[in-house]
Structure 1
């Protein structure tokens, strides 16, 4: 990674939801350059995801759930990108077996959880899903 990539990463750390045009204006680069560099960093695995989730964020969600998602065909990367844009998603995990992706969700109430589950089920490529509510956390990870 060169200085330009580092500058892009620094800007994304400040605001992971910044658009390509906003990043380009802030860094004095073209939108195309910003997009191409982010795409390359994603492809190389330098960027694994966007956003920040703190322990306080997870603890403050009155309703938490795990949603296991089956994806049709080869649409996993596209579905993960779409899922990553949902603010209720706290973490995404790829897995093997029956389910392709497990999403950790947080919502202020059951109606909000129902709304995000509806959005997830309507994503093109989502074949099936199963959701389990988290009732209590006995041990939290890092």
Structure 2
């Protein structure tokens, strides 16, 4: 789908959702001076166009975030390794996958409910055709965590 530019109202909706992703359509509509239905339609459109990508539920005891790790993935064929990317896209706990320069090919961030689930995901990725090696770094603490709201260009 073609990605149209965002107007002032779309930018306001994204700003409000970034501040409070749980805001109701009614409250959001009052803030941006549109009907609830118009706000819902704009949110639906921004989701289809990729400006809003995914929703996350974090389970566990209050104050405890998910367990996370970075996996550096080495592929057999850096150019034709789309099968590995397809696998990563199918794993819901994969929250980031970037193609990077340097020794390894992909930098993958995984956020899961447990260390056991991180290991299951690692085993799945390591066993994938096209993957030659992986290096894993577990996240020990988070000091900065920002939202991933898309900034209009």
Structure 1 gaps, min length 5: 3-9, 15-45
Name whichever structure is richer in helix by fraction.
Answer: 1
Structure 1 runs, 4 residues or longer, greater than 6 Å off = none
After superposition, where does 1:1-142 map in structure 2 within 5 Å?
13=47, 51-54=53-56, 57=58, 61-73=65-77, 74-142=79-147
> Does the CA contact (< 8 Å) of 2:58 and 2:66 recur in 1?
no
> In the aligned structure 1, how far is the partner of 2:95 from the partner of 2:101?
20
The count of corresponding residues between Structure 1 and Structure 2 is 102
Equivalent residue number for residue 26 of structure 2:
none
Distance 1:140 1:12, change over 3 A: closer
SS in 2 for 1:83: helix
> In the aligned structure 2, how far is the partner of 1:77 from the partner of 1:47?
20
> In the aligned structure 1, how far is the partner of 2:132 from the partner of 2:142?
29
Whose Rg is larger? 2
> In the aligned structure 1, how far is the partner of 2:121 from the partner of 2:45?
28
TM-score, normalised by the number of residues in structure 2: 0.55
TM-score, normalised by the number of residues in structure 1: 0.59
State the Cα distance separating 1:122 from its structure 2 match: 1.1
Structure 2 gaps, min length 5: 3-43, 148-153
SS in 1 for 2:120: helix
Equivalent residue number for residue 14 of structure 2:
none
